[in-house]
Structure 1
């Protein structure tokens, strides 16, 4: 008996050795063309190496297992080894947004499931044994159908199953990126995906991670639970996949590659070697030819026609007139397209201001990114266009620190666009009128006054030609980034006259700044500029416009009010209250007296701009005024009781208040023969300084 027992023991040890030597602890498949898998049911390997678990037939099962059992622990009571698996799968739905039963990666003590049910049991269990501890099954399901019977969380989830189809842990399919943001993945989208399943035998922890095909493994897992599989797994288990179809089957399940390892990380797959998925559905050549191709042709032709129309429209939109003679001025000519882009299509939001000659827009040049101001000037007449452009080009050569540089022009249809350097602080008037949020102190105002005087002297005497400004006022003085005054719109009035009807006369300027002789003769001279500069001096020092419709009748005309204060012996009463007596009296006295002197009704008594500069620089003592020849003569009539002032006829009379012809004539006249930019005090026209247009006859000198 002893020899027999000893021989049996030797035989058992030999069998155990042979079984152990045959067992493997890792494998890897980049496609399954040469794999010797154990297949069951409708599972098969396609000619190109795909493991196809199910097709579109109903109530069927498909199993694919590694053919040999794998040792997961040393004995029935030992702890289970660590293991990991990595595979690439695809679930292809025959209908968009509709799912079916899924795939389950499974560890099972057997690879035969004769009594298993299809559908929600994945071909592994049935209603009677679902959830039994004796099943010894561990699985990770990829399910695209919500089964209420097993309490699925949704119709697109990943779950960990132990001994039954009710998941012990599940989550919606997706992955976490490197920035810890969650991205959903649709399991039955037909796109290949990667799945990692890992069990740590030491920490007793199960981890599941999902990701798109070409992404690296996310750092954060989709599922992670603490669970000791030692009580679930037997010493040897089979490893594989199971899938099943339901009563209505619309999904096929594929595995493209698979690797597995005991006590270590499963080997990475070579994604470039994985087999390609078959096309779903029949070829659609006929549909492409009969429907899509004609539609594509019609759409292409329509797009081509639309493109041509857009091109022609665009060409017309940005069309410019460029004549042969204009090539001489090409360096100073801007393209309308560039100006259009710079001003964002001349949007109202880009308007910097409106003047008698047109609107001014802020712009940023597309290429250089330099800031510009673009003035759009209507120019209806083609007569003198060549001379007009020549004069613009000539003025583009004006260079003085107190002039706003005219950079160039653009000519398009009946419109001219003048391009200036952009002045970031805008016009002076907004800092001294209408209760400004920020007012200039005296040092700043006096610097602006001297700057404008210097610029005007340059125009009158220091450039190669004499340039008459014809519209000097606070709103035409711009402030640069350092609050230096720069005279703008120089010569624009003269340029504008070139497009005028030769049968009419335009007196261009602003009421309150117009010299008396300008209304009689219609001619502008350096002396009329000096007169306007005098009004500008008083405007800056007193913080009031030359004519203020809102003022009391006695304070209507600024020059008369300043003269009255001077005549009373206290000229400083005229100073802008916003200065709060914070000014240099000698400078203020010079400016106020110089303003009166420049506003003299007789041109020959006005100083030149060179003399003005000498006064302002202190090289000459403040001008002395005499009241012997100054008087105010009130005429009857006027508008709504407003008195009209005039000068005595004597040419030696030093009358400083403007006569009715110089200040008020034309306000009630309705005869339209020319245009005058004005501040209206009465009659049918109303507006602010520089706003309304009042018309008159040149030879009309009486009301």
Structure 2
């Protein structure tokens, strides 16, 4: 940048950035008389800052890197930090990285969302600790937030003789602590190539984030030269520039002044009424998750119809662009009743806003105004999955795309059910709630019905909510949403994606057809492949298709104890488990209901829909939605 600041990334999502020393350096000690090959001792120091447009939220991080090449074009952004890709590294990669990570990625076995790690040929850290440093005075550990927007200094020191790698972190202007944050025994002579490039790498995900390097130094066989803080560039201002205070001095006539004051008061009252929000003292606890209504109003150009993305059972969704950061967002306007526990609902919204997974649509925050609640999400360029499944005039998804989306949604459910700090029950898994980003990755969204509870406790009984066709029988009978009821809906979703059919359709005589029963009939007749979406025209992996259809039936089993956990589902999809088999006693959904004296209508009737029918934004589909006021 013009002031000497090094910007690894800008506010572009799903990108990667690298900065390397222009020439490779020799890391193998060729001057030793010993027959043993040693990696050279080295020391590096750099000052960095992670700056997000949202307080306390950022995406991914950055890493100090030794790599055999400066061309990392095959590496992925996002959680791969611009270093590796989905294969997650091999010994032939010859990569050493010290990561400063601000996202907890379960697939990388991250310890938390604010840590420092030492990585060797992999993005799974060989050793990691929460970000911070040990004070020299008393040796106590002091936490540091990597995405605090404040500059911090990192020292990476390798002792070639002792084969020890030390990593130290501290705020700028604090002398290098005597005790390192990380100390690991590593023989780099078995890892590095003869010549290596030294530099830094970073990547972005869905939250607009800047990764800056203010200065760095490097040295072989001695400490890195100290940085002169007085010469380091300054960080740019984030957000709108402060308004200039210009004092206008005039001596108008008394009548003109009076008219001006009256107009100003009228305009002020009109402006305050136009952008008035509902704000109570207890909401101060939710901090940066609260958006100003005025910002959302301007971002969506006054919620004009030309920015309307869709209409659902719980409100309208608009595309917007935040003027201060150019961040593209989706804003959902939801009506609410203060008697329905708005305080508890907002607390859950804020909790859900802390969910971070590459296959979840990020909920950024909320705003309250009069009788409505506004939820702010990341904008997904390719819309929802259902339009690719049911719009016969639009593009059809190839099977590899469908299988990739299925695995992504399953991964997000595993995170919600087992890997996050609380259990999150989504309660509305379906194709229309799976959004597709620029790279056609599936992201589970719309957490308006989600419920949270602590691990090891039981879910509470509540109103029956969700979409007909995805509701497990025990949920309709008891009102208790559990991970198993989410698995049931996911099973219907699997069939929906593979067959290209709605959960409840109709035959040529206009009789209702339940998708689960229809696929089970094909399975019983040995013709399960005939259930596959005809638009695939036979171009699919037979083993994967059979797995998805069988797994869909297994997940949608009428008996909850017969359904697999979502972890077991992931193991099937990753081919880590033998092929699943349906029990010979498996019964269709409708037959199970008949045996217990319940028809299809009796399952539906006790649940009075708040919204009986709504048409999608494109006017193509109808669905019945059960709504509990939230």
TM-score by length of 2: 0.54
Equivalent-residue separation in structure 2 for 1:622 and 1:677 (angstroms): 40
Q: Of residues 428, 437, 440 in structure 1, which corresponds to 2:397?
A: 440
Question: Which of 590, 596, 610 is the equivalent residue of 1:675?
Answer: 610
| 2:324 paired residue among 357, 367, 370 | 367
Matched with 1:354 is: 311
Distance in structure 2 (CA, Å) of the matches to 1:308 and 1:551: 66
- Provide the residue aligned with 1:394 in structure 2: 351
Is the counterpart of residue 335 in structure 1 residue 292 in structure 2? Answer: yes
Map of 2:181 onto structure 1: none
Structure 1 position 589 matched with structure 2 position 526: no
Residue in structure 1 matched with residue 471 of structure 2 by the alignment: 514
SS of equivalent residue, structure 2 residue 487: helix
Map of 1:481 onto structure 2? 438
In structure 2, relative to structure 1, the CA distance for the partners of 1:390 and 1:551 (3 Å cut) is: farther
- Matched with 1:646 is 593
Residue 513 of structure 1 aligns to a residue in which SS?
coil
2:310 match: secondary structure:
strand
Please tell me whether the aligned partners of residues 296 and 320 of structure 2 are also in contact (alpha carbons under 8 angstroms): yes
Tell me by how many angstroms 1:326 deviates. 1.7
Q: Secondary structure at the match of 1:312?
A: helix
Contact between 1:679 and 1:688, CA under 8 Å: does it hold in 2? no
Q: CA deviation digits over 1:73-116, x for unaligned, max 9? A: xxxxxxxxxxxxxxxxxxxxxxxxxxxxxxxxxxxxxxxxxxxx
- Which residues in structure 2 correspond to 1:493-642 (within 5 Å)? 493-494=450-451, 506-549=463-506, 552=509, 556-630=513-587
Higher relative contact order (CA 8 A, sep 6+): 2
In the TM superposition, residue 631 of structure 1 has moved relative to its aligned partner by 6.0
Residue pairs, 1:2-17, within 5 angstroms: none
Mapped partners of 1:592, 1:508: distance in 2: 26
- Structure 2 residue 419 is the aligned partner of structure 1 residue 472: no
Greater mean alpha carbon deviation, residues 463-472 or residues 371-380: 371-380
SS of the counterpart of 2:365?
Answer: strand
Q: Which of the two has higher C-alpha Rg? A: 1
**Root mean square deviation, CA, Å:** 3.0
- Provide the residue aligned with 2:199 in structure 1: none
Determine the C-alpha separation between the residues in 2 that align with 1:392 and 1:617.
32
Distance 1:353 1:695 in 2: 18
* SS class of match (2:547): helix
Is the alpha carbon distance of 1:559 and 1:674 closer, same or farther for their aligned partners in structure 2, counting shifts above 3 Å? closer
Following TM superposition, by how much is the alpha carbon of 1:305 offset from its aligned partner in structure 2, in angstroms? 3.0
SS at match of 1:540: helix
Determine if contact 1:554/1:561 at 8 Å carries over to the other structure: no
CA distance in structure 2 between the aligned counterparts of 1:569 and 1:326, rounded to whole angstroms: 58
Residue 277 of structure 1 is matched in structure 2 by none
Q: CA deviation at 1:427?
A: 0.2
- Is the Cα contact below 8 Å between 1:432 and 1:440 reproduced in 2? yes
Tell me the residue number matched to 1:430: 387
Equivalent residue, structure 1, for 2:602: 665
Superposed displacement of residue 454, structure 1:
0.3
The size of the alignment, in residue pairs, is 366
Give the 3-state SS of the residue equivalent to 1:492 in structure 2: coil
8 Å Cα contact 2:468-2:623 kept in structure 1: no
Query: Equivalents in 2 of 1:695, 1:420: separation in Å?
Result: 21
- Relative to 1, partners in 2 of residues 1:582 and 1:677: Cα closer, same or farther, differing over 3 Å? farther
Q: How far did residue 369 of structure 1 move?
A: 0.8
Whether contact under 8 Å (1:593, 1:625) holds in the other structure is yes
Take 1:604 and 1:666, find their aligned partners in 2: how far apart are those partners? 20
Task: Give unmatched runs, 5+ long, in structure 1.
Answer: 1-295, 496-503, 635-644, 650-658, 681-686, 697-703
Cα deviations across residues 522-541 of structure 1 (Å, max 9, x unaligned)?
12111110000011000000
How far apart, CA to CA, are the structure 2 residues paired with 1:408 and 1:351? Answer: 19
Query: 2:413 maps to which residue?
Result: 456
Deviation at residue 313 of structure 1 after TM alignment = 1.1
Residue number in structure 2 paired with 1:86: none
Normalising by structure 1, what TM-score?
A: 0.49
CA distance in 2, matches of 1:617, 1:347: 44
Match of 1:417 among 359, 374, 378: 374
Q: What are the superposed Cα offsets for residues 655-677 of structure 1, whole Å, 9 maximum, x if unpaired?
A: xxxx955x53365x5x8966376
Contact 1:593-1:622 at 8 Å conserved across structures? no
What does 1:126-525 align with in structure 2 at a 5 Å threshold? 304-382=261-339, 384-490=341-447, 492-494=449-451, 506-525=463-482
Deviation per CA, 1:124-160, whole angstroms, max 9, x where unpaired?
A: xxxxxxxxxxxxxxxxxxxxxxxxxxxxxxxxxxxxx
Please give the secondary structure, in 2, of the residue aligned with 1:646.
Answer: helix
Deviations 1:588-628 (A, max 9, x none): 00000000011111100011100100111111122111344
Verify the 8 A CA contact 1:589 1:622 in the aligned structure 2: no
Cα separation, 1, equivalents of 2:279 and 2:528: 57
Summarize the Cα distance change of 1:549–1:434 in structure 2 as closer, same or farther, 3 Å threshold: farther
Task: Rate the CA distance shift 1:694–1:423 in 2: closer, same or farther, 3 A.
Answer: closer
- Preserved contact between residue 402 and residue 455 of structure 1 (Cα < 8 Å): yes
CA contact (8 A) 1:460 1:468 kept: yes
Give distance in 1, aligned partners of 2:416 and 2:508. 34
Provide closer, same or farther for how the CA distance between residues 546 and 678 of structure 1 changes in structure 2, counting only shifts above 3 A: farther
Structure 2: any 5+ residue segments left out of the alignment? 1-252, 453-460
Q: 1:299-336: CA deviations, max 9, x gaps?
A: 77555434322220110111123322222212111100
Cα pair 1:479 1:486 within 8 Å, conserved: yes
* Alpha carbons 1:478, 1:485 under 8 Å: kept: yes
